[in-house]
Amino acid sequence: MPKWLDNAVFYEIYPQSFLDTNADGIGDFQGIINKLDYIRDLGFNAIWMNPCFLSPFGDAGYDVADYYTAAPRYGTNEDLKRLFAEAHRRGIHVLLDLVPGHTSVEHPWFRESMKPERNAFTDRYVWTDSVWEAPESMGCLRAVSQRDGSCAVNFFTCQPSLNYGYYNRTRPWQQSPEDEGPKATLEAMMDVMRFWLTMGCDGFRVDMAMSLVKNDPDGLGTIALWQKVFSVLEREFPEAAMVSEWGEPEKSLRGGFHMDFLLHFGPSHYNDLFRCEEPFFSDRGLGDASAFVERYLESREKAGKDGLICIPSGNHDMVRLAKHVEGDQKKLAFTFLLTMPGAPFVYYGDEIGMRYVENLTSVEGGFDRTGARSPMQWDSCVNAGFSAAPKEKLYIPQDPAADRPTAAQQLTDPDSLLNLVKQLISLRQAHPALQNRGGITFVSKGEPKQALAYEREQDGEKLLVAINPFREAVEFSYTGKLTEPVFTFGGKAFQNGERITLPSVSAGIYKLG
């Protein structure tokens, strides 16, 4: 387990939308380098960067055409290598986004696999034996070449599925994970990882990590596959961190991943907190966090003592936090996010409360996600400091509102969301109990109009975090004894015997006597 994960706090960068330094309307590697001091000064010590490899960008780079070459619109391999070096110089680790389950239709592997003559890439993708037969329960590409067969796709039709085999095989064309084709696919992906880790990246966030072995309802084949990967990685690159997009920590962490996300899909109840009509972090008091808490505790128990379960502020696949969480509730949401176990992940712009931009035309397969991918708002200059290109040339339109938040404005405002995020990250790093591997015990689970309160404990330190997003004061039972607060927002808790009262719209972190 990489030691640096113990106190890692991640910042997710969507490179297209972060900072454009050559006025083409699209962000680039140099833009990220230029803002590394901003990232570091907020307290982030790790970055997850969305796909940056050569791609036709039918799905924002999640359709890779060459795993070994940086996308020219962002820069060169040398620029990316320099980004790693500049980040490391500031004490920042960098994860790349790895897409092992599928490629673009333009990838040379797929071009070769389409040929009717058998070759080294014939079995690199999932193909049926006949163009008239589709892969079971999967979309497919048909009649795209003279090869007889249909090729499975993982997501969009521009993303043919790489072949790692089938756990349960029901058709002659379905191969075992131990067949030569699937084994060659896995070794090819391992070589990709070796290349970038040797180049200087610190690990990967793995896209759709649960999708590799097909017809694998319990994930057993995919777990076994990742265990093979980790048996190599832990020997060759022991400090490399691996984060899975899986959403079921009991499976991903068993496979060897160091971290998994509780996400907006699957059984996590993550949306109950931030992304529904009545989120818990609303002052109306109609939201309910208790189902999330129960699922979180269940996942944590299954994950074991070494697994990290991460709760992100958002990402490129969901609407912005600010769409449903308004006003000071954003500050309470970040108090929660930055005091929970596991490595926090903050999506670029969430630290200033960037809005979800409504009704945008889809860009690069974004569809309704496009409004969460708008350019970062740095200052009050042209295009909010994102780009010197003409407005109509921007990759994605920006929030047009006159009062759109900017980093520059919030840096100068001591009461801003950005400065609260900075304060909370600093507190997290100063208190072992708040860090990634600290324990947690819930004392109030956030039922409707009830507080969300939990003890954090590590290395002999014990703290209570208590949050009330509602318009009214709330009470909860607690047998511990509060002493001085480490942090408060919106007022201080009052303790009377075994009852604690929290003021409306307030949060606090308290030492215990």
Could you read off the pLDDT of 129-169 as tens digits, one per residue? 999 999 988 899 999 999 999 999 999 999 999 999 999 99
What integer pLDDT is reported at residue 302 of this predicted model?
Answer: 82
Query: Which of 53, 93, 5 minimizes the C-alpha distance to 192?
Result: 53
pLDDT > 70 fraction of the chain, expressed in percent and rounded: 100
* Residue 284: φ, ψ to 5°: -75, -25
Q: Does domain 437-512 have CATH number 2.60.40.1180?
A: yes
Q: Is the pLDDT of residue 250 over 90?
A: no
Strand order across the beta sheet in which 494-496 lies: 474-477, 499-502, 494-496
Could you read off the pLDDT of 65-114 as tens digits, one per residue? 999 999 999 999 999 999 999 999 999 999 999 999 999 999 999 999 99
Could you read off the pLDDT of 311-321 as tens digits, one per residue? 999 999 999 99
Residues paired with residue 452 on neighbouring β-strands, in sequence order: 445, 467
For residues 393 and 20, is the Cβ–Cβ distance under 8 A?
A: no
Tokens coding 188? 């090819």
Tokens coding 411? 């840096």
Return d(Cα 250, Cα 310) in angstroms, integer.
Answer: 13
What is the per-residue DSSP string for 196-234? HHHHT--EEEETTGGGSSBS-TTSHHHHHHHHHHHHHHH
- CATH superfamily, domain 3-104+182-428, is Glycosidases (3.20.20.80)
Domain ranges of the chain: 3-104+182-428, 437-512
